[in-house]
A and B are shown apart, each in its own frame.
Chain A
Amino acid sequence: MLDAPLRRRTLLRIVSAGGVIALAPWPSGCGNADPSGKPLARFLTPDEYRTLEALAEAIVPEGEQIGARGARSLDFIDFLLAAFDNDPPAIYARGPFSGRKPFPAADGGPSPDFPENDFETYRPLTRMQEHSMRIDLYGSESVSGGNINAPLVPAWPGLRAIYRAAAATLAAGAEAQGYADLAAVPLAERLGAIEATSPEFRSVFPVNVLQGMFAAPEYGGNADAVAWRDYQWGGDSQPLGYTFYDPATDTLRDNPEQPNQTLDPRWPGRPLEPEVEAFINTITIVQGGQRFF
């Protein structure tokens, strides 16, 4: 019996473990919500979204492991671009816990009690954080003092303008080639389209796509933590962690399912694929290192 009142996520886990309902905490495309349950604001138009998603798909294609489209990287980007339309701005999830892992039980192992999801709400920003993120999204003109170092530091147009312009460029390029939109361009040819976009877009887009794939699901991408699983990374593990402290014996022991001290037989690591191995071999030679086998 639990002494503590059942928390919402405990209940969900118990019910789902019993097979009564399938747990789907982040229905596809819904993304996060503020405490009132309101979905996060979006910025991109459906057409812009579709165009950019088509490019994201070319950067990390679908396959045996999830790609950018399946992981919903564009939701992540869309929420970022509209972050200031939420109150507080949807920039920094609050924490400390997401509710994906339970509290430890008395012997240090997992308890049936899961914390609330504190990643679903956001922190108020400090003055410096707000200035910095506003410049990032709306450009250096948007904040008093944002251009203080011009021309030594060139003006920054802001991610919203950068994304909007890129979406238009990409759509126009596809049309000029006779396609209805970028999504209609064969995957193998899509990557080339990025060359027509601004240097700023070319440098931020792959980064944002990958952040969307591998950030915590509450930020909008990595739906149901699929990318963490597919690419064999543990994700957030608190408050359980990987070692369990047992006060009765005053010892720390490994989580038997996800050991800290030994090889994890479930995730022993995929062998380096030949192209990857060849690349690492080249770095090793260039750096004057050694290949041991």
Chain B
Amino acid sequence: MSSNPSRVPGILGNTSLARFDAVIVGSGAGGGATALALADAGLNVCILEAGPNYFLGLDDPAPGNPKPLFANDELALTSRKLIHQQTRVEPRTFRPSETDGERTVIGEVNTLPKTVGGAWVHADMKVPRFAPFDFHLGTDLGAVPGADFADWPLDYSELEPFYAEAERIGGAQGLAGADPFAAWRSGPYPMAPGAPMFVSEVLSRGARALGLNPFPYPGLQNSRPYEGQPPCNDCGLCSGYGCPINAKGSVNHLRRALLSGRVQLRSECTVVRLVTDASGRTVTRVEYLDPEGNLDGVSGDRVFLAASPIESARLCFLSDPGGPGLGNSSGLLGRHLMFHHQTIGVGIYPMNLHGERGKSVSHGFSDFRGVPGDPNRPLGGIVEFGTNSEKITDAIQYADLGFRGEALKRFLRSSPLGGHIAVLIMQGEDAPQAINRIDLDPAVRDINGLPVPRITYQPHAFELAAREFYGPKLIALHGASGAQFGFVSPVYEGGKTPTGRHIMGTSRMGTDPGRSVVDAHCRFHDVGNLFAADGAPFPTSSGYNPTLTIQALAIRTARAAV
């Protein structure tokens, strides 16, 4: 049945498939997991992906595949944005609130990579699970003025088997029991933790001295050979980089799906509209621009939106020009947009922490995630031990500060914000607010002539209070770890363009069609064959990195949709 590997340029997988049971928009973390779950259930699937493919042999069953075309190349990946959205041709817009006019920024706003494998290719693959209480914060917190905390229409125990499945397919390393605050698990991690980074050793000592509980951060970088993939060799350029040796689990779901013979992936195909029947309750065709920019289309019995919450919601708005947006009878489409509110404790150390070695983050702690309703332990988030791995980025920040000549050279030599920096990144819970949303910008277009997403976002007092509470503790931790200086970075204070890469909300899930966009199985209340398979359905953001939960939820959604 399989025609793998494909010999048709731009198409991966089984090129002979002509009729599809499902169409998936986006091949990232959620899209890949959905594709595999659907293919396993015997469905024929077409994935439409806006970005290019940089994995040679992704659909080739021969051992040693895929061979990524990613490199430790900071210029290509970071400076020239090889796989990132190119904001000269695809800008986004931003304003802090509706009272700030049509927009205050045009350019880069929360963009994620566009490539086969999605942003998960660029991620450094930290995969903590959410805590059981994350699924019922609406009940636990009660009314919080200005925020819309809501319970998820499922609980942790229902998602646990899907977490385990996502960890097994992705290849998770970690140590069960090492984080005293972690959710219960039905089994151990597939792999033991990999090597700790130097910065983690330094910060873990300080954390333990303060009575905190550092642990090896669970991640999808192999610590051993795993199912034909090599172990991670700690090359350092992990966050923001595809893995040159394929030691990350970025495309494991996708590859298995492609090898099933039931999946076809068309790359460089940007979906621009979901066409419905006259009732508006069934998507009949998915229209896209092919690699040359020509309009084409494909049909499937079911359609899964996995384009990441901002683009998925944009697509629903684009599909109903002049109307409220496809699937928006609740008026909540695009709303409750959440990022994690990152509180970043910066420490400057006397020694070189050589962040260009390791896997960007190898340790962290959950003590600051907090306990719902406990004023002495407000809801913050998991804390990552990070540093700076990039040299061009390090150098440019001193030029951006205005230094030139001998002064610039002193900074380049000393590298205070490069080799000497350690960062404690708290992924703080971001309270869901209906006023934080995406809609279509009334005037700004992408190069294809389509309205771009406009992000309206400001932090809530809830996360700012957590920042106030935990910020000084992050500074104290730097002191206990031997830093010379410690301060909290000003990023993300109100009015600034948000830069978060953890994107959630815009199609919140729930059982009441008047108060949610998708149902308990992520099916749009209004459109019977349309499903959300990215972070869009999350009613709350939690304080843990979201992507394992995106994948677990996507698998559950796909199984229910069959």
Contacts and interface: CB of A to CB of B under 8 A. Distances in A.
Given A119-B73, A241-B233, A252-B194, A214 B106 contact: no
A163 interface: no
B91 interface: yes
Interface string A226-239: 00100111111111
A280 B416 contact: yes
A270 B416 CA distance: 10
B198 A260 contact: yes
A210 B399 contact: yes
A27 interface: no
Interface stretch (B18-26, B364-372, B483-491): B483-491
B69 A289 contact: no
Contact of B413 (A119, A268, A273): A273
Contacts of B233: 104, 237-245
B485 A152 contact: no
B351 interface: yes
Most buried by A among B196, B409, B483, B489: B409
Contact of B88 (A136, A267, A279): A136
Contacts of A96: 67-71, 244-245
Contact of B352 (A131, A267, A280, A283): A267
Given A65-B413, A234-B354, A269-B352, A289 B487 contact: yes
Interface string B252-279: 0000000000000000100000000000
B356 interface: yes
A146 interface: yes
Interface in B229-264: 230-237, 244-245
Contacts of A271: 350, 414
Contacts, number: 291
A264 interface: yes
Contacts of A93: 71, 73, 75-76
Given A95-B70, A149-B91, A289 B485 contact: yes
Given A128-B447, A146-B447, A236-B71, A280 B357 contact: no
Given A153-B106, A261-B201, A291-B484, A61 B405 contact: yes
Given A149-B91, A207-B399, A236-B73, A287 B490 contact: yes
Given A261-B201, A284-B486, A60 B412 contact: yes
A55 to B, nearest CB: 10
A19 interface: no
Contacts of B110: none
A132 interface: yes
Given A93-B76, A145-B447, A211-B75, A252 B396 contact: no
A94, A153, A289: residue with the most chain B Cβ atoms closer than 10 Å: A289
Contacts of A231: 391, 412-413, 415
Contact of B410 (A118, A238, A242, A276): A276
Nearest to A135: B88
Interface in B349-394: 349-354, 356-358, 391-392
A32 to B, nearest CB: 12
Majority secondary structure, B binding face:
loop
Contacts of A219: 75
Given A136-B88, A260-B195, A267-B354, A241 B485 contact: no
A185 to B, nearest CB: 13
B405 A59 contact: yes
Contacts of A145: 89, 447-449
A245 B231 contact: yes
A177 interface: no
A37 B285 CA distance: 48
B189 interface: no
A40 interface: no
Contacts of B416: 272, 276, 279-280
Q: How large is the interface on B (under 10, 10 to 19, 20 to 34, 35 or more residues)?
A: 35 or more
Nearest to B358: A260
B74 interface: yes
Interface stretch (B79-87, B176-184, B536-544): B79-87
Nearest to B82: A92
Interface size class of A (residues with CB under 8 A): 35 or more
B399 A206 contact: yes
A290 B71 contact: no
A247 B225 contact: yes
A139 B92 CA distance: 20
B71 A97 contact: yes
Nearest to A245: B231
A128 B90 contact: yes
A147 B353 CA distance: 45
Given A127-B291, A214-B74, A242 B80 contact: no
A228 B391 contact: yes
Contact of B244 (A238, A244, A280, A291): A238
A250 B224 contact: yes
Contact of B357 (A143, A242, A284): A242
A254 to B, nearest CB: 7
A58 interface: yes
A98 B346 CA distance: 33
B302 interface: no
A264 B356 CA distance: 12
Contacts of A127: 268, 291-293
A245 B90 CA distance: 42
A95 B55 CA distance: 11
A3 interface: no
Given A206-B399, A260-B358, A92 B487 contact: no
Contacts of A152: 106, 443-444
Nearest to B485: A284
B420 interface: yes
A191 B486 contact: no
Nearest to B106: A153
B356 to A, nearest CB: 5
Contacts of B51: 126
A244 B391 CA distance: 24
Given A58-B405, A92-B80, A231-B413, A242 B488 contact: no
A282 B384 CA distance: 26
Interface string B470-495: 00000100110001111111100000
A91 interface: yes
Contact of B235 (A211, A215, A237): A237
A135 B225 CA distance: 44
By Cβ-Cβ distance, the 3 closest A-B pairs, closest first, are A241-B233, A289-B487, A95-B71
20 contacts: A95-B69, A95-B70, A95-B73, A96-B68, A126-B268, A131-B89, A131-B447, A153-B106, A234-B357, A241-B232, A243-B195, A245-B233, A258-B357, A260-B195, A260-B198, A263-B352, A268-B351, A279-B411, A283-B487, A292-B485
Given A94-B69, A119-B73, A231-B391, 6 more contacts: A58-B405, A93-B71, A133-B80, A145-B448, A207-B396, A273-B414
Interface of B: 51-52, 67-76, 79-80, 82, 86, 88-91, 106, 114, 194-198, 201, 223-225, 230-237, 244-245, 268, 291-293, 346, 348-354, 356-358, 391-392, 395-396, 399, 404-416, 418-420, 443-449, 475, 478-479, 483-490
Interface of A: 58-61, 63, 65, 67, 91-98, 104, 118-119, 123, 126-129, 131-133, 135-136, 140, 143, 145-146, 148-149, 152-153, 156, 191, 206-207, 210-211, 213-216, 219, 228, 231-245, 247, 250, 252, 254, 258-264, 267-273, 275-276, 279-281, 283-284, 287-293
